[in-house]
Structure 1
Amino acid sequence: MDKLLSLDPLILPPEPSYWPLPSHVWIIIAAAVISTLLLLALRRYQASKSYLHRKALLELSRVGAHRDTASLHRLLRRIALTHFPRHTVAPMSGEAWLRWLDKTLPEPRFMPLKAVWLAGLYQDQQPSSQDWHQCIHASEAWINTLYEEQA
């Protein structure tokens, strides 16, 4: 019995530390942080596109209340310049502009109203109520198509 009392006590190793973290844990943390940042950037990008779409439609409704073809033309050109290269959009006018707008739509909506558009732009004539509503609907369809393609 005396032999058991003379033994030294067991020395346990220290508990493993949580710091520094093993390399595989750092990889998991880095992947989680990067994926979270990418997700936030994607949501912000989608929100900005949605914001621009809503803003374009709001501006269209404001222009629509005034029945001014030149203002509607400027709005469409401003939107086109933000989405397409300047060298493509800037030099176009008249029929070429209307054909290009129709080319970006699934079905032509601007060329059938060519006389209304050109008279409003170059002769400062106000369109009839029916023609104006068709111009607004064509513009709204173009804006919606533009933003749907980019979604």
Structure 2
Amino acid sequence: MAQPPDTEGKNLVEMLDMLKPIPEPEPISMIPATQGWIWLSLAVLAALVWLGWRAARHWQANAYRRAALKELDAAGDDPAKVADILRRAALVAYPRRKVVGLLGPDWLAFLSETCPGAGFSGDAGEILLRAPWRDEPPDPRVTGLARHWLKAHRREAPA
């Protein structure tokens, strides 16, 4: 049996000097201990990459909306410019064969069908129809309707 050190006649500082340092534990590894955590980490990483790829595709697919909204802000409330912006945005979002031949009430019906809650059947819709051929006074209702359509219309899935 080991003899306890002689502490008789020693003050506190001397006794503290006699203490041996506590051994430090080995560092903990940051590598997962089981394969399950590795597979889970790879699955989470794959999901994040996939979500990033989807977000990038969504951002790119809606570039025409952002450009059209920017042009709409620059157009002010000029109905002729608003009508032109709507037509060009529809040509990007839908197949050309569906949009090019639409005139008059058919054009307004198309705009209403492709955007839930858009009311192109009222006075603002009529102003939008006449604007490319007549000088129409600026109308914020037309701009608001166009802004709503640009933000909320459902784009046709690519073939």
The TM-score bracket by the shorter chain reads 0.5 to 0.7
**2:140 is the counterpart of 1:133:** yes
Identity of aligned residues (%): 24
**2:85 is the counterpart of 1:85:** no
**2:40 is the counterpart of 1:48:** no
- Is this contact kept in 2: 1:110–1:135, CA < 8 A? no
> Match of 1:111, SS?
coil
**2:84 is the counterpart of 1:63:** no
Q: TM-score, normalised by structure 2?
A: 0.59
RMSD of aligned C-alpha atoms? 3.2
1:94 pairs with one of 104, 107, 122: 104
> Residues 64-123 of structure 1: CA distance to partner in whole angstroms, max 9, x if unpaired?
25x2x332222111111111122111111122101211222333522212432233222x
Higher-Rg structure is 2
Structure 2 CA distance for aligned equivalents of residues 109 and 121 of structure 1: 20
- The residue type paired with residue 58 of structure 1 is K
> Match of 1:110, SS?
coil
**2:127 is the counterpart of 1:116:** yes
Number of aligned residue pairs: give it.
Answer: 120
- The residue type paired with residue 38 of structure 1 is W
Question: 1:30-49, aligned counterparts within 5 Å?
Answer: 34-49=46-61
Alignment gaps of 5+ in structure 2:
1-34
Mark the CA change 1:62 to 1:92 in structure 2 (over 3 Å): closer, same or farther.
same
- Is this contact kept in 1: 2:65–2:150, CA < 8 A? yes
Q: TM-score, normalised by structure 1?
A: 0.62
Alignment gaps of 5+ in structure 1:
1-23
Counterpart in the other structure of 2:29: none
- Is this contact kept in 1: 2:94–2:155, CA < 8 A? no
